[in-house]
Chain A
Amino acid sequence: MIVSLVVVLAIPLVLMSGLLYKSAVLLEEHSMFNLLFSKEWKPLSGQFGFYTFIISSLWVTVVSLLIAAPICLLTAIHLTQYAKRWVLNLMHPVIDLLAGIPSVIFGVWGILVVVPAIADHIAPFFGKSVSGYSILAGAIVLSIMIIPFILNILIELFRNIPTELKEASLSLGATKWQTIKLVLIKKILPGIVSAFGLGMSRAFGETIAVLIVVGNVTQIPKGIFQPGYPLPALIANNYGEMLSIPMYDSALMLAALILFVIVLFFNFISRVIIIKSNKHN
Chain B
Amino acid sequence: MIDRRKAEEWFFRVLMFFSTVIIATALFLIIFSILYSGLPHLTWEMISSVPKGGFYFGKEGGILNAIIGSLYLSMGSTILAFLFGLPLALFMNVHLIRRRKLVNGIRFVMDLLWGVPSIVYGAFGFTIMVFFGIRASLLAGIITVTLFIIPIMVRGMDEILQSVPRGLLESSLSLGSTRSETSYRVFLKQCVPGVITAVLLSFGRAIGDAASILFTTGYTDHIPTSLTQPTATLPLAIFFQLSSPIPEVRERAYAAAVILVFIILTISMLSRFFSRKYQKNKINF
Are B264's CB and A12's CB within 8 A? no
- Residues A239 and B261 in contact, CB atoms below 8 Å apart: no
CB-CB under 8 A for A5 and B119, given A97-B265, A107-B242, A264-B112: no
Asked whether any CB of chain A lies closer than 8 Å to the CB of B177, the reply is no
- Residue-wise, chain A 205-223 has the 8 Å CB interface mask toward B (1 for contact) of 1111000100000000000
Within 8 A of B (CB), among A29-47: none
- Cα(A252)–Cα(B90), bound, Å: 38
Most chain A CB within a 10 A radius of its CB, from B95, B116, B254? B116
> 8 Å CB contacts to B: which residues of A90-139?
90-91, 93-98, 100-109, 111-113
Produce 1/0 per residue, B1-22, CB < 8 A to A.
Answer: 0000110110011011101101
A198 close to B (CB within 8 Å): yes
CB-CB under 8 A from A271, the residues of chain B are: 108, 111-112
What 0/1 readout, one digit per residue, does chain A (77-101) give for beta carbons within 8 Å of chain B?
1110011000100110111111011
Within 8 A of B (CB), among A250-278: 252-253, 256, 259-260, 263-264, 267-268, 271, 275
What is the total of A-B residue contacts with beta carbons within 8 Å? 232
Interface residue tally for chain B (C-beta within 8 Å): 80
The answer to whether A147 touches B23, judged by C-beta atoms less than 8 angstroms apart, is: yes
Name the residue on B nearest A22 (C-beta).
Answer: B127
CA distance A273 to B207 in the complex (A): 32
Contact B91 A205 (CB under 8 A): no
Complex formed: what's the CA distance from A98 to B84 in Å?
A: 28
- Nearest chain B CB to A174's CB is how many angstroms away? 9
- B274 within 8 Å of A (CB atoms): no
Residue in A109, A151, A176 whose beta carbon sits within 8 Å of that of B34 in the complex? A109
Flag if A263 contacts B117 (CB, 8 Å). Answer: yes
Query: Quick check: is B278 within 8 A (CB to CB) of the other chain?
Result: no
Contact A103 B27 (CB under 8 A): no
Contacts of A93 in B (CB 8 A): 268, 272
| Contact status A12-B118, CB under 8 Å | no
Which residue of the partner chain A has the closest CB to B118?
A: A207
From A100, A176, A267, give the contact of B112 (CB < 8 A).
A267
Q: Are A105 and B260 in contact (CB under 8 A)?
A: yes
Q: Which residues of chain A are near B215, meaning CB under 8 Å?
A: 239
Q: Which of B20, B106, B124, B257 contacts A256 (CB 8 A)?
A: B124
Q: Taking CB as reference atom, which chain A residue is nearest B253? A: A108
Query: Chain A: how many interface residues by the 8 Å CB criterion?
Result: 79
A1-B90, A236-B214 as given contacts; A259 in contact with B84, CB under 8 Å: no
B33 at the interface (CB under 8 A from A): yes
Bound-state Cα–Cα, A8 to B265, Å: 30
Cα A108 to Cα B13 in complex, Å, equals 33
Known: A7-B84, A91-B23, A232-B119. A109 touches B30 (CB 8 A): yes
Q: Does B224 contact A (CB under 8 A)?
A: no
Output the nearest chain B residue to A253 by Cβ-Cβ distance: B123
Collect the chain B residues with CB atoms within 8 Å of residue A144's CB.
Answer: 26, 30
A8 and B84 in contact (CB under 8 A), knowing A74-B19, A109-B33?
yes
- The residue of chain B having its C-beta at the shortest distance from the C-beta of A78 within the complex is B16
CB of A19 closer than 8 Å to a CB of B: yes
| A250–B17 CA distance with the chains assembled, in angstroms | 49
Pair A4/B27 contact, Cβ less than 8 Å: no
Q: Which residue of B lies closest to A140 (CB)?
A: B26
Which residue of chain B has its CB nearest to the CB of A205? B117
Chain B's closest residue to A233 (CB) is B119
Known: A12-B112, A239-B126. A98 touches B27 (CB 8 A): yes
A15 interfacial contact with B, CB 8 Å = yes
Which B residues are CB-close (under 8 A) to A175?
5-6, 9
Q: Are B16 and A212 in contact (CB under 8 A)?
A: no
Contact assessment for B24 and A100 in the assembled complex, using a CB-CB cutoff below 8 Å: no
Shortest 3 CB-CB distances between A and B: which pairs? Answer: A205-B117, A102-B208, A177-B9
**A residues in contact (CB < 8 Å) with B:** 1-5, 7-9, 11-12, 15, 18-19, 21-22, 70-72, 74-75, 77-79, 82-83, 87, 90-91, 93-98, 100-109, 111-113, 144, 147, 151, 175-178, 198, 201-202, 204-208, 212, 232, 235-236, 239, 249, 252-253, 256, 259-260, 263-264, 267-268, 271, 275
Q: List 9 A-B contacts (CB under 8 A).
A: A7-B84, A15-B147, A18-B128, A74-B20, A83-B20, A87-B20, A98-B26, A101-B208, A263-B120
Q: Besides A8-B85, A94-B23, A105-B257, 10 other CB < 8 A contacts?
A: A2-B91, A4-B88, A8-B84, A18-B128, A18-B131, A19-B127, A78-B13, A207-B211, A239-B126, A263-B117
